[in-house]
């Protein structure tokens, strides 16, 4: 099935099975391997991307469901070779250890900050409830998001 | 493998109701209808189980709404849980459904999963089901011949992952009598953790209450995840009608829920746990209604016997 997908502001034409998941197309067809697959069942959040600005589990969504919508992956956070404020705060706070959960954490946090630029700690926890981390214990992640909040959320789509 | 590869799968993404009818007209028993896909996508990946036709409801923006139509609340089938959770009309006139939506999965799942998909999938643990049951919801469908039909939810969900929906029939709307200022409603859930959890037990209550006399005029109780389908508990509803809204009513509610669960899953190994948990959940739901000062079960009376 031929379909066109807009990812990080760029339109792509792909030819995949209708049951191909969004994560499969992002990783295998478009080479955007920043998005990770942990559980494949909607439990871990490693595969989180934004579709029309909302956090979704790309392992539970077919690529065809994202046709005609704006998809943003972790690769879309940095622009001009410079990491976003949120990404820089993750580094500054030691919120990254093995890094497997990080793309999903960043995208859930990005969705939150776009909707609510000054979230409380509880609102951050609710937004991250679907993201599991085996390494950090979460406190550093929450601190990083707090540090990135209250300032203008970086544009997620990579466009200026 | 070759056979599977050779099988062609058609895809329909209708954008209008007429297109939907045309697509449904081509449906067979191997056809799958996908709304949010948060339940369906996993099963679509089972090799050899691919549908002949996949109908995606994602293009039908007109099926995503909550509106007040006279004294009736209408909820479009593809309204997402995030939309339900925050919808002002639903929060005012059907709060227990908004609360149920807010407990589902994670933000990632609520942003995509739909109420129509939750019901059509017919999981016994579907969080929206007890709320819709307590609200007395009807389900409106359309089929491949263009016929529209409306029937009570209890006639749609028949058992675990089993509905009365024909293969060419799609849910388009839920409707229920709008709750007014004399009605209170609450929803509570027990799972193994607070997010991304499959419900172990859910309870929704709708109560009409006369503030002057403190009397419960009508109570509807929906229980979920304790049987094949979410169900009402008429025995409790009758016991509570005409009762004063006080600690005694809370105790009647808890006892009735425990008995109903005993009847629903008599042979399940989880029965003692669920009955024990139901007492706490019934009190939590009762207290959330805010009809009287918070009350708690009498100490010790619901504890399982200690094993020596
Ligand atoms: S890989 Fe999608 S939620 Fe775990
Ligand atoms: S940093 Fe290792 S899983 Fe989160």
Break chain B into its structural domains and give their ranges: 10-56, 66-177, 183-307
Please report whether residue A104 resides in a domain: yes
pLDDT(A156) > 60: no
Q: Which of A52, A76, A100 is the last residue of a domain?
A: A76
Give distance in angstroms: CA of A44 to centre of ligand 2.
Answer: 11
Average pLDDT, chain B: 91
CATH label of the domain that carries residue A25: 3.10.20.30
Which residue range forms the structural domain that includes residue A57? 2-76
The pairing of beta strand A2-7 with beta strand A10-15:
antiparallel
- Give the residue among B36, B32, B40 at the shortest CA–CA distance from B12: B32
Using CA coordinates, name the residue in chain B closest to A39.
B42
Give distance in angstroms: CA of A90 to centre of ligand 2.
Answer: 12
CATH number of B183-307: 3.30.390.50
Q: State the average pLDDT over residues B159-183.
A: 96
**H runs (alpha helix) in A19-101:** 22-24, 85-92
pLDDT(A151) > 60: no
Is the CB of B56 less than 8 angstroms away from the CB of A64? yes
- Give the residue among B188, B19, B198 at the shortest CA–CA distance from B104: B198
pLDDT(B88) > 70: yes
Q: State the average pLDDT over residues B149-174.
A: 96
The answer on A100 and A61 residing in a single domain is no
Q: State the average pLDDT over residues A47-62.
A: 97
Residues of B with Cβ-Cβ distance to A55 under 8 angstroms: 107-108, 111
CATH label of the domain that carries residue A114: 1.10.150.120
* Proportion of chain B above pLDDT 70, given as a percent: 93
pLDDT in tens, B192-241: 766 666 778 899 999 999 989 999 999 999 999 888 899 999 999 999 99
Ligand 1 close to Cβ of residue A37 (< 6 A): yes
| ipTM metric | 0.91
Lowest mean pLDDT among B153-157, B172-176, B230-234, B295-299: B295-299
Packed helices A102-115 and A85-92: angle between N→C axes, nearest 10 degrees: 130
The answer on A94 and A34 residing in a single domain is no
The answer on A96 and A138 residing in a single domain is yes
Please report whether residue A153 resides in a domain: no
Q: Which two tokens stand for residue B303?
A: 């504890």
Ligand 1 close to Cβ of residue A26 (< 6 A): no
The answer on A62 and A93 residing in a single domain is no
From chain B residues 235-274, the ones with a CB under 8 A of any chain A CB are: none
The answer on A100 and A55 residing in a single domain is no
pLDDT(B1) > 50: no
Q: What pLDDT does B198 receive?
A: 73
pLDDT(B267) > 60: yes
pLDDT(A57) > 70: yes
The answer on A102 and A69 residing in a single domain is no
Q: What pLDDT does B227 receive?
A: 84
The total number of structural domains that make up chain A:
2
Residues of B with Cβ-Cβ distance to A130 under 8 angstroms: 105-109, 195-196
Q: Give the CATH architecture of domain B66-177.
A: 2-Layer Sandwich (3.30)
Please report whether residue A159 resides in a domain: no
The answer on A65 and A21 residing in a single domain is yes
pLDDT(B249) > 70: yes
Give distance in angstroms: CA of B192 to centre of ligand 2.
Answer: 22
Q: How far apart are CA A127 and CA B38, in angstroms?
A: 18
pLDDT(A109) > 80: yes
Is the CB of A61 less than 8 angstroms away from the CB of B41? yes
Q: What pLDDT does B270 receive?
A: 87
pLDDT(A152) > 60: no
The pairing of beta strand B66-69 with beta strand B72-76:
antiparallel
* Close Cβ partners of B275 (under 8 Å, ≥ 6 residues apart): B258, B261, B262
Ligand 1 close to Cβ of residue A56 (< 6 A): no
CA distance A18 to chain B (A): 7
* Close Cβ partners of B262 (under 8 Å, ≥ 6 residues apart): B271, B275
Please report whether residue A112 resides in a domain: yes
Please report whether residue A155 resides in a domain: no
Using CA coordinates, name the residue in chain A closest to B11.
A18
Q: What pLDDT does B188 receive?
A: 93
């Amino acid at each position: 099935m031929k379909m066109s997908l807009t990812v990080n502001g760029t339109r792509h034409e792909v030819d995949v099975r209708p049951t191909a998941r969004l994560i499969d197309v992002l990783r295998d067809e478009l080479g955007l391997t920043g998005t990770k697959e942990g559980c494949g069942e909607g439990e871990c959040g490693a595969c989180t991307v934004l579709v029309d600005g909302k956090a979704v589990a790309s392992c539970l969504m077919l690529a065809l469901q994202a046709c005609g919508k704006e998809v943003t992956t972790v690769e879309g956070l940095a622009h001009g070779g410079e990491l976003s404020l949120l990404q820089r705060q993750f580094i500054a706070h030691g919120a990254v250890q093995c890094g497997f959960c990080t793309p999903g954490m960043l995208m859930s946090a990005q969705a939150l900050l776009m909707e609510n630029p000054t979230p409380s700690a509880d609102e951050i926890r609710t937004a991250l409830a679907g993201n599991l981390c085996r390494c950090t214990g979460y406190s550093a992640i929450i601190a990083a998001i707090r540090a990135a909040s209250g300032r203008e959320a970086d544009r997620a789509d990579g466009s200026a | 493998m070759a056979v599977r590869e050779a099988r062609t799968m058609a895809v329909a993404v209708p954008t209008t109701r007429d297109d939907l009818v045309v697509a449904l007209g081509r449906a067979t028993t191997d056809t799958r209808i996908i709304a949010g896909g948060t339940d369906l996508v996993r099963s679509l990946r089972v090799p050899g189980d691919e549908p002949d036709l996949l109908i995606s409801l994602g293009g039908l923006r007109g099926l995503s709404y909550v509106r007040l139509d006279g004294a009736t609340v209408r909820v479009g089938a593809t309204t997402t849980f995030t939309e339900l959770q925050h919808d002002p009309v639903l929060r005012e006139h059907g709060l227990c459904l908004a609360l149920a939506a807010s407990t589902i999965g994670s933000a990632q799942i609520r942003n995509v999963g739909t109420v129509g998909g939750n019901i059509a999938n017919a999981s016994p643990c579907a969080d929206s089901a007890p709320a819709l049951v307590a609200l007395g919801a009807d389900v409106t469908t359309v089929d491949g011949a263009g016929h529209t039909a409306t029937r009570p939810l209890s006639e749609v969900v028949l058992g675990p992952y089993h509905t009365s929906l024909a293969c060419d029939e799609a849910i388009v709307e839920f409707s229920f009598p709008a709750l007014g200022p004399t009605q209170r409603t609450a929803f509570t859930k027990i799972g193994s953790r607070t997010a991304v959890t499959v419900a172990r037990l859910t309870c929704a209550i709708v109560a009409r209450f006369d503030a002057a006399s403190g009397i419960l005029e009508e109570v509807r109780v929906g229980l979920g995840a304790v049987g094949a389908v979410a169900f009402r508990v008429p025995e409790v509803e009758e016991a509570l009608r005409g009762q004063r809204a006080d600690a005694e009513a809370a105790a009647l509610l808890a006892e009735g829920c425990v008995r109903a669960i005993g009847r629903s899953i008599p042979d399940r190994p989880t029965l003692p746990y669920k009955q024990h948990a139901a007492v706490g959940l019934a009190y939590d739901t009762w207290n959330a209604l805010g009809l009287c000062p918070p009350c708690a079960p009498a100490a010790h009376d619901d504890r399982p016997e200690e094993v020596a």
